Amino acid sequence: MNLPPFKLERYFARYEFNVEYLLCASDCQSFTVQELLSLEPDAAARFGEHWLGYTESPGSPSLRQEIAGIYTGISPEQILVHSGAEEAIFLLMHAILGPGDHAIVHFPCYQSLIEVARGTGCDVSPWTAHEGDAWALDLDELERLIRPETRLIVVNFPHNPTGYLMPDDKYRRLNGIAQERGIILFSDEVYREAEYNSADRLPSACEINPTAISLGVMSKTYGLPGLRIGWVATRDVTLLAKMAALKDYTTICNSAPSEFLAELALRHRPALVERNLEIIARNLSILDSFFERHADRFVWHRPKAGPIAFPRLLDGDIEAFCHDLVTTSGVLLLPGTVYEDTGNHFRIGFGRANLPEAVARLEEYLDR
């Protein structure tokens, strides 16, 4: 295993906890433990009595039951809980890939989706999104990338960092191509349920494709990254067993308090999602007007889903711009270079409640 530094995490490590405005967060507004416990009258008492022994390695049966309820036709035995989505990505790649294999990865992407694949010794081809086509992916290009040794196709809808959501018919064709070719589809769905129009929501890959793996997490749409609870859902239980065997060498089992709180939160999923979609909708209209006012400086591609987008700075170098902005005004944007992007893009996040103040500060900086 040979992993380069995780550029995005290193960038965040420098600023995340000492900057005034984190205007590039990929998660939605979070909650306190107390807010979660107040969702049910007896939850605080039950939490106080919750046992702190080791937990069941695949995830507690009642948590897996709640997670399975997110999907149609998926049972608790088809869920494996992890420490965040990150552990699941790591174990999945190591369960499937190795030297001599080939993987195709939606690009640009959250770095571990491509680097962990490469780190297994497998050969990786980026499947590049087209900015000129609202960050769409081309299925003909995918077919040209497929080789006899292709084992895995990795996609992420809604997409980090562009907010792209594939249309339903195309997504079903993608699943069909993977199935016909005997290739496993790994579908990173950590921003699912954050579609601005619920009619745009795609089925989970695990619902429509018997060999696909869907990745979910508490962090993004539900706003609970501090729980570090993520999971995979798949009907391929042999693959789940391989991942479970690897998990014995990473975290063994999940945090007991986090399992309790994740299960509680998932029982109230619609309320959590509704709160965060309201924040996103309000913030998006602020961003629409902001980018309209500054059309001479930025290109704005309004996403269809999720709390992040990938606009382009027209003049100047994006790294220098982000650096100057954060040091003089305390507003953090994420330069696209951490995604190996060369198009002068930056990630902006709009799932947090303080976006209006952050955008006002950004505008003051631009108007200086």
CA–CA gap between residue 350 and residue 46 (Å, rounded):
34
Cis peptide before 356 (omega within 30 of 0): no
For 229, the 3-state DSSP assignment is strand
- The correct pick among 29, 30, 111, 156 for binding ligand PLP (CB under 6 A) is 156
Do 85 and 123 form a contact (C-beta atoms < 8 A)? no
CB of 305 to ligand PLP, least distance (A): 12
Which residue from 119, 198, 205 is spatially nearest to 157, judged by alpha carbons?
205
188 binds ligand PLP (CB under 6 A): yes
- The correct pick among 59, 203, 225, 336 for binding ligand PLP (CB under 6 A) is 225
55 binds ligand PLP (CB under 6 A): no
- The correct pick among 12, 71, 107, 110 for binding ligand PLP (CB under 6 A) is 110
- The correct pick among 23, 29, 55, 86 for binding ligand PLP (CB under 6 A) is 86
349 binds ligand PLP (CB under 6 A): no
Residue written as token pair 């979660």: 36
Do 231 and 88 form a contact (C-beta atoms < 8 A)? yes
Residue 133 phi, psi dihedral angles, 5° rounding = -115, 45
Nearer to ligand PLP, 224 or 279 (CB): 224
Nearer to ligand PLP, 27 or 329 (CB): 27
90 binds ligand PLP (CB under 6 A): no
160 binds ligand PLP (CB under 6 A): yes
CB of 363 to ligand PLP, least distance (A): 27
Binding to ligand PLP, residues 205-224 (CB under 6 A): 217, 219
Nearer to ligand PLP, 59 or 230 (CB): 230
119 binds ligand PLP (CB under 6 A): no
115 binds ligand PLP (CB under 6 A): no
26 binds ligand PLP (CB under 6 A): yes
Do 189 and 157 form a contact (C-beta atoms < 8 A)? yes
Terminal CA-CA length for the chain: 48
190 binds ligand PLP (CB under 6 A): yes
CB of 188 to ligand PLP, least distance (A): 5
341 binds ligand PLP (CB under 6 A): no
CA–CA gap between residue 247 and residue 230 (Å, rounded):
13
For 292, the 3-state DSSP assignment is helix
For 233, the 3-state DSSP assignment is strand
Do 348 and 309 form a contact (C-beta atoms < 8 A)? yes
CB of 194 to ligand PLP, least distance (A): 12
| Position closest to ligand PLP via CB | 84
Nearer to ligand PLP, 329 or 355 (CB): 355
- Judged by the rule CB under 6 A, the positions of this chain that interact with ligand PLP are 26, 84-86, 110, 156, 160, 188, 190, 217, 219, 225, 230
